[in-house]
Amino acid sequence: MFPLRTTIGVVALVLAGLLLAGCSTVKLAYGQAPQLLAWQLNRYLDLSPPQAERVRDELAELHRWHRDTLLPEHAGLLQKLRQQLPAPMSPEQACRAYADLRTQIDQLLARAEPSLVWLASDLSEAQIRSLQKRQADSNADWKKEWLDPTPDKLREHRYQQLLSRTEDFYGSLQEPQKAALRRYIAQSSFDPQRTYAERLRRQTDLVQVLRQMAQERGNTDQARTLVRGYLARLNTSPDAAYQRYAQALVEEGCAGFAAVHATMTPAQRLRAVASVGAYEQDFITLAAQRVSRSDPVPQ
């Protein structure tokens, strides 16, 4: 799913996968990312003490690599966006920013692949069942937020979320700008039923892959093949209809961002420039804080 709020998130480079928060806390959140990710993995998988220790080590090493390698690339992407924001932006420009970010995320996944293969291969049946329970709990929350409301309430919920994120980026909006947000939502192809079905497919796929890996324990080549296959299906659904749906959401998000950005005043665009510039400077500062391999692993 690629709604307009995600497009704005791309422009601000709020990297959810790295657990980055608002601009005022990005440095603190980035420094704590390995611990937070380790906690989340333990919450879903109920890791054994040896697994938990190795997960912390692997995440700390991945964090060092990301700081040294990808943070400068993130800053470069933000610099390009910052230079574009004072003027109107086309849907193509917005989609190029999204594509650039996806490329950087793919680099991160490629670097993490050996760790993913190890952990997925080391899980017990009890841990896989723990994952399924957490999936079910998460699905119940997702359904409550996105499937249970009436269409009118869902549209209003989406609007309020989008308004909050947009005002964080540009400042307070006026009625014509709010109307542009409502038009985007009214014309959106977002279908919570279809999105939920793909969510379930991915979860079932993951559990099946983990159980296959348990049967092939010790076969590293097969484990790597299974992980790569799962990630490929995560990136591009095997359901052709869902592929078309997902692409439509991407294109709508890019066009929606361009349309909303076009309604902004010069002062609002300058605020967006400042927001992006603050992220950019944070990434540059963090990238300069090299962490030596002799430093202790966060506990």
Q: Could you tell me where the DSSP H helices lie in the chain?
A: 4-12, 26-45, 49-84, 91-122, 125-146, 151-170, 175-187, 192-215, 220-235, 240-262, 266-288
54 pLDDT above the threshold of 90: yes
How far apart CA 51 and CA 41 sit, in angstroms, is 10
248 pLDDT above the threshold of 50: yes
* pLDDT above 90: percentage of residues in the chain: 77
- Please report which confidence band the pLDDT of residue 10 belongs to, taking 50, 70 and 90 as the band edges: very low
Per-residue model confidence (pLDDT) at position 290: 66
- Please report which confidence band the pLDDT of residue 294 belongs to, taking 50, 70 and 90 as the band edges: very low
Q: What one-character-per-residue DSSP string does 248-277 give?
A: HHHHHHHHHHHHHHHT--HHHHHHHHHHHH
17 pLDDT above the threshold of 50: no
Per-residue model confidence (pLDDT) at position 279: 87
22 pLDDT above the threshold of 70: no
For the ranges 14-28, 84-98, 261-275, which has the lowest average pLDDT? Answer: 14-28
Q: Which amino acid, one-letter code, is at 144? A: K
299 pLDDT above the threshold of 70: no
Phi, psi of 292 (to 5 degrees): -75, 155
Output the pTM of the full model: 0.85
292 pLDDT above the threshold of 80: no
Mean pLDDT of the chain: 87
Picking from 174, 255, 276, the residue whose alpha carbon sits closest to that of residue 2 is 255
Q: Where is pLDDT greater, at 279 or 3?
A: 279
Picking from 149, 117, 165, the residue whose alpha carbon sits closest to that of residue 275 is 165
For the ranges 83-97, 258-272, 278-292, which has the lowest average pLDDT? Answer: 278-292
What count of other Cβ atoms lies within 10 Å of the Cβ of residue 258? 18
